[in-house]
Structure 1
Amino acid sequence: MSLLNYTHLRAFRAVAAEGNLTRAAEKLGVAQSAVSTQIRALEARLGHPLFERRGRTMALTEAGRIAFDCAERAFAAGDELVETLAGRAGARQVVRVGALATLSRNFQLNFLRPLVQDPEVSVVLRSGSIGELLAELEALRLDVVLTNAPPRHDASTTWSERRIDDQPVGLVGHPHRIPEGAGLADLLEAAPLVLPAEGSALRADFDRLVAREGLSPRIAAEADDMAMLRLLVREDAGLGLVPPIVVQDELSSGLLVEALPLPDLHEAFWAITLPRRFPNPALARVLPRD
């Protein structure tokens, strides 16, 4: 079997980085036709198209994204060899993860721990809105998107989601706010609440619960960011409606305690992926099988 031609690989890497044949040729100091020829030769060698044209832009295909990651590692290894004979880093697998900006950091870390602790895996984390993350997923710049609500589907949807966890939810707070043996009505009478913002599934479920019980809670604060909810409860703004995983460190230390579990309320966590011909093998270690 013939080996890869690294001149072809260097031309491919330049086009992938620049997104344009002309700029890549200028960067390499060769004719544009030479770059085109080298790309075609590499595609023929690999047996897959590496780019698709979008106007004047050369966008990576799925095979192209994998080839680009491999090319980056190959050239990085070459640089290490030149710079120091002691460099033995080896090839590292890259996993690109997008997470909703408001998602619990504790959940993200727990989910990704097997990958983060693996010296052969490099985890790239990005946060943003669900729209931004899905666009990155469809552009093959992310391998998976983590969120706490499945996004809406339409006729153009190409991704799929799977539920990866389901956390019970309760009221948590500082011990002095929690009368012994208190029920929901007693707790809402004794302390204000820190709640997820309106519009979230968890908030809607809680509002239905208190309406059904005929209760009118005092709301000290609302936030759509789990990290902010955690800080507000830590600062004793009131009892917080959160999954225990959000405040797991505070519960373990005794700073906060669970006032009352609410068995009818749950926070679901979802992983969104694209069906891919070349799925990232590292994801199989953290994602449940379909």
Structure 2
Amino acid sequence: MVGDSGRRRYVALGDSFTEGVGDPHPGLPNGVRGWADRVAEKLAKNQKGWEYANLAVRSKRLRQIIDDQLEPAIALEPTLVTLYAGGNDILDVGTDMDRLLEEYSGLVGRLAETEATLVLFTGYDIKVNPLLEPLRRRNWQYNARVRELAREHGAVLVDYWCFDEYNDKRMWDSDRLHMSTAGHKFLARQVLAHLGVPTSFKEIDWEPLAPRSTLEWVNAQRQWMNDWVVPLIGRKLRGVTLGDSLGPRWPYPVKVPKKGGLRRYALEHPEVLEGHGPSFPRPGK
């Protein structure tokens, strides 16, 4: 089991997936919580002394994660590292997949050199819209390389691609690209299980989804386009992202309280919310 001996320090790297977008919480940095916070809290409840840093920032591309997060993460001397990076690149027109996978491989190699327990993720096969079907082939390429690297480096592989639970629309936020709170909770449980850490998360017990009429479906599609797709395209044309004004949520290791978790820590250390919080836009790429 991870953290059985010595110092215990968990460092998370990545983009919105790891930052926690889709799981809102106004009392935490950047106004979100997410699966990584939940993992850190469960680790602290299970074993004393866990520290946690989360360097992930929404919208970041792989090159930015390498430039901004890799060396700081190594300097923190982690004993546990989680990495998901490259998803935003896959959604970008003109991405060179050979170069992307080469840079991703180098990033994984550097993190493996720390000898920390390394956790990697495949990308989920999000069926958002037929217009995005060409991007699925990129996702397949990415996932195949992630699986190879996990074998090569002895990393823990969380094969997100294979989780049928995410076929339920309620596991996704309103933008249809980020997990909802339920999705983050489920992923936290999966990560902990892969690490051999006992969990006590409640199983989701949902009522069956009511069928929608054609008119309801059309209206939902229109609202999604207006609320998410059009603004996303506009930001891409302007060359801006929702992560431009944000920094990492937990840039330095904090000792996670066994009782109350990171929410208690934020209440006792309000300075961690300076420059963060609910004033920033919530989900988005």
> TM-score, with normalisation over the residues of structure 2?
0.24
- Judging by fraction of residues, say which structure has more helix: 2
- Judging by fraction of residues, say which structure has more strand: 1
Structure with bigger RCO (C-alpha 8 Å, 6+ apart): 2
Structure with greater Cα Rg: 1
